[in-house]
Chain A
Amino acid sequence: MEGELIVQTTENKSLMEKLGILSDAAKYDVSCSSSGVGRRGDGTGIGNTLAAGICHSFGADGRCISLLKILFTNECIYDCKYCINRKSNDVPRATFTPDEICELTIQFYRRNYIEGLFLSSGIVYSPTYTMELIYEAVHKLRTLYRFQGYIHVKAIPGADPQLIQRLGLLADRMSVNLELPTAEGLKKLAPNKHRKNILSPMRQIQQGITQNKNELVVYRHAPSFVPAGQSTQMIVGATPESDYQVMMVAENLYKKFDLKRVYYSAFVSVNEDKDLPALPGGPPLLREHRLYQADWLLRFYGFEAQELLSESRPNFNILLDPKADWALRHLEVFPVEINRADYHTILRVPGIGVKSAQRIIRARRSGNLTFDDLKKIGVTLKRALYFITCNGKMMYPTKLEEDYITRNLIDRKEKLPFDKDGMTYRQLSLFDDNSELYWKQAVSG
């Protein structure tokens, strides 16, 4: 009906239609992790959680499906330019009732489809009103249904801090999206949002967690506040920040806000807008992948952002992963002797991961290790051989020379997230919980 405004109302929609609209609207949120808290069921309801988290399926994009990821509503009053639900878009709209959310969560959970709920929302009326709706659903799920599985909720910037506090006592994880790496980017693309409003609930949650930890020391049965920690996500490639800027922001979030995870989301162009970049090559997935690799280096390998990048080298190497890239620029510290070097030094060798490094330390107590042993332990010798000695000897006589090694390390079939046997989202989530990394190593060889 040309020229006529079709007002989409939510009342007459079936549960199937609502789920379609509100999961479609939620899919750009990256996190689907159910990790960070191990809790047994108390026998009176339904559910438990595993510290390592569980993926229950993998979608056609290869991403892990762990939680029922939905918006409460997409009837949003804001107009963020990168978002499909922005007010000025003409898209189908819907709103769940708290009961519908409980029903879906419980029925999916019983059948082992999901680990729990990830509830986010567009803004209806006001941030506080929206948070109240979320609170009502989560409260019902926890108390009426006695649901003890995983719950991740978004804290809506600008909502009443009281509400965030109360919700934190019901949720396992909370997240406030940073949206874009810098305040300028935010101002340009999300005119209704303000950096300050995003950082203050983040700070509040951080303080809540710290305080709760202290309480738990004194009263073992004090209710826990966001026990699986806080995460955030930012979109990369919608605004012009460099990798260096992104990593500095991430490092800050880890250090100053104690975040559990920072997620990077390659910008997917869903709206046409003069302020958004055209992305003829699709979302910048390789860039996103490098950022995740670097993120692990910060979290598990003892690296600092400034060691990886600088003002004068602001972006990651396209051909090499950040760890190999770092090693090649620091050939003076190599080769390291596997039977003597300390854990942190071994961890910096390309081809040696956290588990392998731990196994090396453990195994060498009962005798000197050989290259053969390293192979059994799970070291990727093809990559590591340039950087290590075993009992004073290198595996082959080889030149410690940047160009030569670079040529050998560049893997034409590099393991990109969109490659068939690549570094994968499962591994991403496993790194979070590295006890599990191991399980999959057996299959991936």
Chain B
Amino acid sequence: MEEYYLICEDSLEGIFTGIYDAYLMKKPHNRIHICLGEDDNYRLFAVYQTHPPDEKKAASVARTVIRQFGEETYLAICRALASEKPDKAEAVYKTVAAGLALKDKRDLMGNLSNPYIHRVFELARFTANEAHYHVEFLRFKELENGILYAVIGPKNNVLTFIVPHFADRLPLENFVIHDEIRNIFAMHPAKGEWYLVCGDENRLQAEHAFSEGEKKYSELFTSFFHTIAIKERSNYGLQRNMLPIRYRRYMTEFQEK
């Protein structure tokens, strides 16, 4: 029996397109797979097809997911698709397929004994988790021109999940969050709507020095950070557990002055 491998772009749009096309094939789901690139070990009797992203198809899948499974599940799927793990595409596809066959479609994510659903649940949790870490640990620095500038280096693509939080809390600020791994920038103009910019804008930071206030307040906070700990309770293990080392290079209070 032939197996079909749909090769899709690594994006929400790309993978949703793959799911749409998988349905068009009208073959049993267990013989169709979605992947993000060609497999290393080329399989015998496997048909590989490349499916470029298609906005209309993707939108139609998104609508179906929201209508059938509800907003919460849709969000879980979006989070899973922001994951760094390549098996996310297959897991989401099989989850959607399993879901559409269910009687109680609203409770899709409750079916944790299905390995694909469990995987989506897990991937979504990793992303949510990492997004939350960024909401906690991201640090802005003020540039000379008053813009607040933050750099992050997330494993999963969390940027779009965290910007709304900051846009709501800092509506009057011009701020930029730069994902230096993917080289994408979230730009928020004061009193305006935020948007994403890809690629080559890193001149932005390089061209501007930090403001006067930046030195003053980063020193004040660093000093506060050290004083507020109770030395009789010192516990670096616990600190490490709560605040993973890999975030610290982005955090003001851990940076060498």
Contact = CB atoms under 8 A, between A and B. Distances in A.
A23 B232 CA distance: 16
Contacts of A418: 233, 235, 237-238
Contacts of B171: 41, 43-46
Contact of A440 (B111, B129, B140, B220): B129
B142 interface: yes
B225 A59 contact: yes
B152 to A, nearest CB: 11
Interface string A13-46: 0011001100110111000000000001101111
Given A107-B213, A268-B230, A19 B148 contact: no
Contacts of B251: 57
Q: Chain B interface: which size bin? A: 35 or more
Contact of A27 (B218, B230, B242): B230
B237 A110 contact: no
Nearest to A64: B242
Given A112-B138, A373-B113, A45 B172 contact: yes
A282 interface: yes
A343 to B, nearest CB: 15
Interface in A95-112: 104, 107-108, 110-112
Interface in B233-255: 233-243, 251-253
B229 A57 contact: no
B110 A363 contact: yes
Q: Chain A interface: which size bin? A: 35 or more
B250 to A, nearest CB: 11
Contacts of A15: 220
Contact of B228 (A55, A69, A419, A436): A69
A257 B122 CA distance: 40
Given A45-B172, A110-B148, A362-B107, A60 B234 contact: yes
A113 B221 contact: yes
A377 B136 contact: no
Interface in A51-81: 54-65, 68-69
A380 interface: no
A376 B150 CA distance: 37
A417 B230 CA distance: 14
A290 B18 CA distance: 52
A376 B125 CA distance: 13
A126 B166 CA distance: 40
Contact of A61 (B129, B150, B234): B234
Nearest to A361: B110
A56 B252 CA distance: 11
Given A20-B223, A23-B224, A46-B169, A28 B107 contact: no
Contact of A63 (B126, B191, B229, B252): B229
Contacts of B229: 27, 59-61, 63
Nearest to B167: A41
Interface in B111-146: 111-113, 118, 122, 125-126, 128-129, 132, 135-142
Contact of A442 (B122, B137, B223): B122
B104 interface: yes
Which residue, A41, A58, A149, A283, has most C-beta atoms of chain B within 10 A?
A: A58
A421 interface: yes
Contacts of A40: 168
B78 to A, nearest CB: 16
A420 B241 contact: yes
Contacts, number: 189
B159 to A, nearest CB: 15
A370 B233 CA distance: 42
A28 to B, nearest CB: 7
Contacts of B142: 110-111
Nearest to B214: A111
Contact of B111 (A16, A19, A107, A366): A366
B169 A424 contact: no
A63 B141 CA distance: 24
Interface in B144-184: 148, 150, 166, 168-173
A234 B129 CA distance: 33
B213 to A, nearest CB: 7
B227 interface: yes
A112 B107 contact: no
A422 B141 CA distance: 33
B217 interface: yes
Contacts of A213: none
A63 B107 CA distance: 37
Given A61-B239, A366-B107, A442 B125 contact: yes
A127 B92 CA distance: 60
A55 B242 contact: yes
Contacts of A43: 171, 191
A277 to B, nearest CB: 14
Contacts of A419: 237-238
A438 interface: yes
Contacts of B236: 60, 62
A352 to B, nearest CB: 15
Given A27-B228, A58-B239, A420-B237, A110 B220 contact: no
Nearest to B109: A362
Given A62-B239, A367-B113, A373-B113, A56 B125 contact: no
24 contacts: A19-B220, A24-B228, A57-B136, A58-B238, A59-B239, A60-B229, A62-B242, A65-B225, A107-B220, A108-B221, A111-B139, A111-B142, A112-B140, A268-B233, A359-B112, A365-B107, A365-B110, A366-B107, A366-B111, A418-B235, A424-B238, A426-B242, A439-B129, A442-B122
Given A19-B227, A55-B242, A111-B217, 11 more contacts: A16-B223, A20-B227, A27-B228, A41-B171, A47-B169, A111-B139, A285-B233, A359-B110, A366-B107, A424-B242, A439-B129
Question: 4 nearest interchain CB pairs?
Answer: A62-B238, A59-B229, A420-B237, A61-B233
